Amino acid sequence: MQTERTLVLVKPDGVQRGLVGEVIGRLERRGLHLAGLKLMRISKDLAQRHYAEHEGKTFFDGLVSFITSSPVVAMVWEGPGVVGMVRTTMGVTNPVDAAPGTIRGDLALSLGMNVIHGSDSPRRAEEEVALFFEPGELVFWDSTSAAWLA
C-alpha cells in the first residue's frame, strides 16, 4: 500500500483537557510516523477554509468559533493507508456512537467537542496538510527501516 500523509488536529477541548499526549501516544503505538507537529491558534480564515465542506450547514458558525477558540495541536502522520487508519482509530463523529477502544469512544461525549480531527480522504488529506504546513516544516521517514532519513 502506498505511503500516505494525513492531517490530525487535537482540538481545543483535547488540548485543554490534557489529552495531547494520549492522542499522540495512541497513534505512535499504532506504528504510525509523526511527520510534522505544532501548537497553534487557528485563524478564522483558516478555519473557514479547513471546514469549507460544511459551509451553509446549521453548525458551521459554531464549528468555526469552537476550532478558533483556543490553541490546537496540528500534526501530520505518515504511513501506508494512514488516512483510513486514523479515521478508524478516531471513531465515528458523534462520540455517543463511537466504539470503545477508539479515541472518541474512550475520551469524548460531545458531538462538537470530540477531541480530534482527521482528514477523511487521501485527496482531502493532501489539501489539509498543505493548508496547515509549509513543505519545510515536514520530515520524511524511511518506510523500510522506520528511522529518520538523513
Calpha distance 38→76 (Å, rounded): 9
Per CB under 6 A, 120 contacts ligand DAT: yes
In sequence order, what DSSP letters do the residues of 26-47 get, joined into one string?
HHHHTT-EEEEEEEEPPPHHHH
Residue 136 has a CB neighbour count (10 Å cut-off) of 7
Per CB under 6 A, 121 contacts ligand DAT: no
CB of 53 to ligand DAT, least distance (A): 7
Per CB under 6 A, 42 contacts ligand DAT: no
Query: Which of 114, 115, 125, 132 contacts ligand DAT by CB under 6 A?
Result: 114
Residue of 98, 97, 87, 105 whose CA lies nearest to 30: 87
Q: Please identify every residue annotated as catalytic.
A: 117
Query: Which of 111, 130, 146, 147 contacts ligand DAT by CB under 6 A?
Result: 111
Per CB under 6 A, 63 contacts ligand DAT: yes
